[in-house]
Amino acid sequence: MKTLIVTRNHLAMLLQCINLNTLMDEVIEELTRSLRDFDEARTQVRRRDGFMFMRPRPGILEWMPIMETESAVLIKVVGYNPFNPVDHGLPTIISTMSLYDVRTGHLVALMDGILPTALRTGAASAVASRILASPESRVLGLIGCGAQALTQMHAISRVFDLKEVLIYDPNEESQSSFLKRGEFLGLNVRPAQRDALERESDIICTATSVEIDGGPVLSDSELKSWIHINAIGSDFPGKKELPLSLLRRSLVCPDFTPQAMVEGECQQLSEDEIGPNLAELVKNAGAYEQYMRSPTVFDSTGYALEDQVVMSVLLRYAQQLNLGTELLIETTTADPKNPYEIVNSMVLESLMQDSPNADLEMSTQPAYSFRRGESS
Amino acid sequence: MKTLIVTRNHLAMLLQCINLNTLMDEVIEELTRSLRDFDEARTQVRRRDGFMFMRPRPGILEWMPIMETESAVLIKVVGYNPFNPVDHGLPTIISTMSLYDVRTGHLVALMDGILPTALRTGAASAVASRILASPESRVLGLIGCGAQALTQMHAISRVFDLKEVLIYDPNEESQSSFLKRGEFLGLNVRPAQRDALERESDIICTATSVEIDGGPVLSDSELKSWIHINAIGSDFPGKKELPLSLLRRSLVCPDFTPQAMVEGECQQLSEDEIGPNLAELVKNAGAYEQYMRSPTVFDSTGYALEDQVVMSVLLRYAQQLNLGTELLIETTTADPKNPYEIVNSMVLESLMQDSPNADLEMSTQPAYSFRRGESS
């Protein structure tokens, strides 16, 4: 049983072949379809769980499992480390996605989760905005200009005819580099004061690494009466981006309610103050048209269904383009009751034929070590 | 950031170099050391969680996370599918182990979990038996002769001077093939009636796939007064191998109490009927010497600390022998705030130099598919 590993190279090649707009459009449409067809009897989503820590820096290592009944389980593992960019020159979110055959337990595929997370988080905002924002929205405001802001702008630009994008980040480097990062979209992007951004935007995406109790990142002074907010930075218990005043007068729609109540803006609300979730919105889009003219919030904590959609799209392309490395990882052998069969040299020989030994490589520096292991 | 993938071939080669006895001894000693040094402030273990299902066949897909603070998180994913051998010719337990750097979220290493699970489950029984069984134990009884029974026998044989191993399995094929599978150990193994096995054994390991409410697998009619049982088949809520009568008159020591109360023999007991856990046993072995002369049970549900130990040992050997394939999986690039940087062909070029494109391969049959993906 082989495991398909889609490496960074393969993803880079894939993106050389597939236009980014095509890819984003497809993720948006597939996500819409998946949400509309969502059936709890068929798809089980677990609220993500993880290890939270404060040392050496505050962060989380978490897992997000989703099962398609009688078919597959996807577990995305996500490191959320807001000091990654400063300390290590690495993204705040580093992630990998593993797909298992639920009928056997076999690891079917493994791929990066950084790019897919950015893509699907953008796509989710596009899906929510298409239902909740005014269809005449022309001005997008971005509060926070990090990695996620780029795909927010990209995705929203695919479903609205944007005439202007206003950006704000207290980190000047993020704000100025965003202009360059977003250049390929050919949009009219300009930095703005936060007050002006709030006053002029039809849609606002908040995508910040604001600290616990460091929020809100939005003042709620002069927002448009039809404002739609995609609050995507909420991903940590205690972390909030939006003021309670705004939440109280808005229709607040979480991606995944049980999770949003622990990690999202919904932490600030009681259950009866929370609106329909994203799947309910998509299933009954017509019923929510009235809210296009009033304040609405998409409380986006990150939903495993979105990961399933984006991985499915990328794997389909990888397959079409024959991109991927297949490796035999599990020690399954002819006799399922003999875990030591692999020791037998006959088995070894046949294994070698099956997958030639091109994959031997020097590993000089041990990147891996448990502290316990080192001390022995 | 490279991910070290230890393939099945690499493990086979590793086992060509390292004697199985040496390996088992090392896992037993490392596990003993890890349990003795176990400190909740440094090592956090989560009770495993998973998706349980009844169709197409009853099974579980579960994850077992453990964090070494400020260092690494290991997540072993395990498929427990008792019909795997019959339906697919595959082991009941199929598993992979993923190691993450907790400070960044990077996937550091990936390897098989089938062989390591068998090794560490055997080793755990050896550790428990060394403390709880009579040191004069000479007869081992095995109820259930599947994959796990082999490493039970192997591990116990490393810490006791066995003169005889009695085996019993209602599945005749399992029972007879076990003789061949265990031959390499040069032990005196013979099939026995279950009653005789219970009467003559000093130590018994139960390692069965008994169905929920199908147990107990042991009659508790004429057990020795100093009997020690390693009950390793308990891994499913509702599944039990031992009769309550035996548990009630024994010192019952779980590997991981919160988990054993949900999945293990401890399901049958109230909290005050449960003895010390394995770490407490090892830390205070002297205090439990008296129990070598009375009935004791090791309730082995599978403990993530054991996985950490065995992975650590195997990775150390892999490193010494330069075994492993290093792949760039995560799409980290020069700019941590630009998830689309990977699209840039300059980046692609530098990536290609970094890791030559030897890993492109045809993937003909799509092993991977979400049902949702197929229907589109």
Tell whether the model's pLDDT for residue A238 goes beyond 60. yes
Average pLDDT estimate for A252-267: 96
Tell whether the model's pLDDT for residue A192 goes beyond 70. yes
CB of A300 within 8 Å of a chain B CB? The answer is: no
A6 CA: distance to closest CA in chain B (Å) = 7
B286 CA: distance to closest CA in chain A (Å) = 24
Of A203, A165, A173, A206, residue with least CA distance to A86:
A173
The more confident residue out of B16 and B125 is B125
Tell whether the model's pLDDT for residue B168 goes beyond 90. yes
Compute φ and ψ for A271, nearest 5 degrees: -55, -40
CB of B371 within 8 Å of a chain A CB? The answer is: yes
Of B250, B260, B261, residue with least CA distance to B288:
B250
Residues A70-94 have pLDDT tens digits of 999 999 999 999 999 999 999 999 9
CB of A17 within 8 Å of a chain B CB? The answer is: no
Q: Could you tell me the two tokens for A16?
A: 């050389």
Tell whether the model's pLDDT for residue B365 goes beyond 90. no
CB of A352 within 8 Å of a chain B CB? The answer is: yes
Check CB contact under 8 Å for B368 and A70. no
Residues A98-138 have pLDDT tens digits of 999 999 999 999 999 999 999 999 999 999 999 999 999 99
Q: Could you tell me the two tokens for B94?
A: 């199929």
Tell whether the model's pLDDT for residue A352 goes beyond 60. no
Closest CB from B94, B184, B372 relative to A330: B94
Residues 118-147 on B with a CB inside 8 Å of A are 118-119, 145-147
Mean of pLDDT over chain A: 90
Closest CB from A16, A110, A339 relative to B329: A110
Q: Where does the pLDDT of residue A27 fall: very low under 50, low under 70, confident under 90, or very high at 90 and above?
A: very high
CB of A55 within 8 Å of a chain B CB? The answer is: yes
Instruction: Tell which of B5, B26, B320, B327 to mutate to test the A interface (max A CBs under 10 Å).
Output: B327
Question: What is the rounded (10 degree) CA torsion for A22, A23, A25, A29?
Answer: 130
Check CB contact under 8 Å for B77 and A88. no
Tell whether the model's pLDDT for residue B196 goes beyond 60. yes
CA-based radius of gyration for chain B: 22
Helix (H) or strand (E) holding B25: helix B20-37
Tell whether the model's pLDDT for residue A351 goes beyond 70. no
Chain B partners within 8 Å of A11 (Cβ): 331, 342
A226 CA: distance to closest CA in chain B (Å) = 30
Tell whether the model's pLDDT for residue B2 goes beyond 70. yes
> How many angstroms separate the CA atoms of B188 and B194, rounded?
17
Q: How many helices (H) and strands (E) does chain B have?
A: 13, 15
Average pLDDT estimate for B322-340: 93
Residues 160-179 on B with a CB inside 8 Å of A are 174, 177-178
Average pLDDT estimate for B159-182: 96
Chain B partners within 8 Å of A7 (Cβ): 327-329, 355, 359
Residue A359 pLDDT = 38
Residues B227-265 have pLDDT tens digits of 999 999 877 788 899 999 999 999 999 999 999 999 999
- Supply the pTM of this predicted model: 0.91
Q: Where does the pLDDT of residue B45 fall: very low under 50, low under 70, confident under 90, or very high at 90 and above?
A: very high
Q: Where does the pLDDT of residue A216 fall: very low under 50, low under 70, confident under 90, or very high at 90 and above?
A: very high
| Maximal C-alpha separation, chain A | 75
Contact A266, A248 (CB under 8 A): no
Check CB contact under 8 Å for B102 and A72. no
Average pLDDT estimate for B97-124: 97
Chain A partners within 8 Å of B351 (Cβ): 8-9, 12
Chain B partners within 8 Å of A157 (Cβ): none
SS (H, E, C) A27-63: HHHHHHHHHHHCCCCCEEECCCEEEEECCCCCEEEEE
For A331, the closest chain B residue by CA position comes to B8
Tell whether the model's pLDDT for residue B203 goes beyond 90. yes
The more confident residue out of B203 and A371 is B203
CB of B338 within 8 Å of a chain A CB? The answer is: yes
Check CB contact under 8 Å for B150 and A8. no
For A16, the closest chain B residue by CA position comes to B343
> How many angstroms separate the CA atoms of B160 and B182, rounded?
16
